[in-house]
Chain A
């Protein structure tokens, strides 16, 4: 397994523990609070019944019984079962069989639900009043279960989102590493191969010269790649030196290398890092020269535009390039790394690089100043 994938799994595992652990703690806290509040409310309700019985104890037994039964029926409608006893007289008994408790307060399962059972027995003015109160916890349990589901679904969705985000971020970080390996391998093959070629065979002098030349060319390519890597490293470190660049001098230097390129510069000075801007221009011009026969460069207050008359870029590829997606050599020939560097140089200057390509109008690399 690749190192970055291992890193991803470790970090993601850590995230999952944090996400689900956090949700579990939150759920536990809310549930506890809610249950406490609900139990408090049930206690008050039981007390009301107790005080009602205490207030009616001096009335005639049948009247007292009738009023308490009225109250008990209303309780029953709310899935609350009660039994009230005054001395030896049972004023109301709606408590189902099997729901009796042993302690003053307890939670007792009965049928398909759990009940909070409160039993209070006190002496009021010489009379013993006993109230047994059982309230179903079904509704509370349902609310809590619903919340638990919501938390689980929310947690799964959130951790999924974090996972995808993390995966692509780590993949993106790792991508330049595999690109570097890819870019270096090609010239290395040439160097190793021609060195072996010289060693292996019985060669004529011109063959040896040819092989040596290929080794030198491949080494130059390798040098070019490492140069680009160093520049990219500096860009990523943010190690840039912004100053006023004399565009005429810069373009004269580039013009020496690309004499066939038409350059139209309307800017005398440009603010930026001279080495990076020079690298950006050289890369854009080199790519354009490889793609088409005619290349034109225009630089004005709005940006840098490098046009070539080559074959238009494939629409899918163009979209990928403009979105900054995978720019490996596999997808855009040998210039993938060059474009990547150009984009990073543009970004570090606060500019935006994108391509425009069509059948009639050719391909233009546009680096717009913001």
Chain B
């Protein structure tokens, strides 16, 4: 999984992002000022930067410019409370790969991180869970070396759970992520697909039901 630098002066939010990233298997490095961020970049291997614009010692745009000059291979996502169009344009034109406005849903942040990592070919493509091998690039799931036959929906549902591992996702959210926004079916469809996934992949214990909410893949 990826090493992500969180440049955020608000310690409460910085810790929140770090914990959420850690739950999904990412490594969160924290920096509370622009200078600290540059020090971390100098010493550590970083795959992606989550950057707040309002930093106490320098503005995020200048820091982003420096990052792009010295660490061009590291993508930046702006995470800020500034939602005005000129700020968004400035951020995106300044080199940010994405711009997310506070307050945000953690799932959304994770999804955007995933997209940016994929764009930069830093996404983890092969996962192993006991005897299961999941190749996201090829869209193949193997169990004890043998391919498991999954329908398109089952595969999408499993992929969603896998990318949000250890996070409880509501049925509505799973429908939205795996079936798409246009799907108008009953959310009990999710239950049927989860039952089949558990059987086919032998994940009866790993895919947990969150009472009156949804499901979580616990790894």
Contact = CB atoms under 8 A, between A and B. Distances in A.
Q: Do A and B come from one complex?
A: yes
A152 interface: no
A199 interface: yes
Interface in A191-205: 191-194, 196-197, 199-202
A330 B103 contact: no
A186 B10 contact: yes
Contact of A181 (B10, B12, B59, B83): B83
B106 interface: yes
A202 B23 CA distance: 9
Nearest to A291: B56
Contacts of B107: 196
Nearest to B168: A200
Interface string A282-323: 000000000000000000000000000000000000000000
Contacts of A329: 54, 81
B82 A189 contact: no
A217 B107 CA distance: 23
Interface in B143-179: 166-169
A290 B19 CA distance: 26
B12 A218 contact: yes
A2 B85 CA distance: 9
B103 A185 contact: yes
Contacts of A238: none
B125 interface: no
Contacts of B84: 2, 178
A190 B104 CA distance: 10
Given A182-B81, A330-B82, A193 B103 contact: yes
A197 B107 CA distance: 10
B106 A200 contact: yes
Contacts of B53: 330
A336 to B, nearest CB: 9
A185 B102 contact: yes
> What is the size category of the interface that chain B forms with chain A?
20 to 34
A199 B213 contact: yes
- Judged by DSSP, the binding face of A is helix
Q: For B17, B53, B102, which residue has the most chain A Cβ atoms within 10 angstroms?
A: B102
Interface string B177-219: 0000000000000000000000000000000100001001010
A202 B218 contact: yes
Given A330-B82, A333-B54, A189 B167 contact: no
A144 interface: no
Contacts of B218: 202
B162 to A, nearest CB: 15
B15 interface: yes
Given A189-B103, A193-B20, A200 B167 contact: yes
Nearest to B15: A214
B12 A214 contact: yes
A95 interface: no
A194 B103 contact: no
A19 interface: no
Nearest to A214: B12
Contacts of A197: 16, 19-20, 106
A348 interface: no
A334 B52 CA distance: 13
A90 B149 CA distance: 120
A130 B210 CA distance: 113
Nearest to B81: A185
B171 to A, nearest CB: 14
A16 interface: no
A94 to B, nearest CB: 70
Contact of B216 (A196, A202, A217, A331): A202
9 contacts: A181-B81, A185-B81, A185-B103, A186-B81, A186-B102, A200-B20, A328-B54, A331-B59, A333-B56
